[in-house]
Amino acid sequence: MKMTEMTVELVFGLNAGIIWKALNENGPSAIGDLAKRTGLKREQVYGALGWLGREGKIAVDRRGRTMVFSLQP
C-alpha cells in the first residue's frame, strides 16, 4: 500500500478523530453542530460517529427529536 492511498478505514478513522476532538472540546453535540464545527459533510459525520460507536467511545442521548452525541466518560 502506498502512503498516499486513502483506504475506507483511513478516511473513517481520520474523520472519527476529528469528531472525537470536536466532542472533547465542545461537549455534547447534535449532528448539524458537529458538521458545522468540523467542516465535514453530514454523511461523513454519520460515518465517524458509527466508527466511534463501534469502538464504544460515544454515548447517545435523545432530546426531543434530536440525537445528541457525547464522549463516554
Q: What single-letter DSSP state applies at residue 40? A: -
pLDDT band at 14 (very low <50, low <70, confident <90, very high): very high
Q: Determine, yes or no, domain membership for 29.
A: yes
Domain limits at 67? Answer: 11-71
Q: What is residue 5's predicted lDDT score, i.e. its pLDDT?
A: 80
The total domain count for the chain is 1
Q: Would you say residue 1 has pLDDT above 60?
A: no
Half-sphere exposure of 13 (CA within 13 A, CB side): 5
**pLDDT of residue 11 exceeding 70:** yes
Q: What is the CATH number of the domain that holds 20?
A: 1.10.10.10
List % helix, strand, coil for the chain (3-state, nearest 5).
55, 20, 25
41 located within any domain = yes
Report phi then psi at 70, rounded to 5: -145, 165
Is pLDDT of 3 > 80?
Answer: no
- Alpha carbons 64 and 24: distance in angstroms, whole number: 23
Residue 6 belongs to some domain of the structure: no
In a domain, 67, yes or no: yes
Q: What is the pTM of this model?
A: 0.89
Residue 5 domain-assigned (yes or no): no
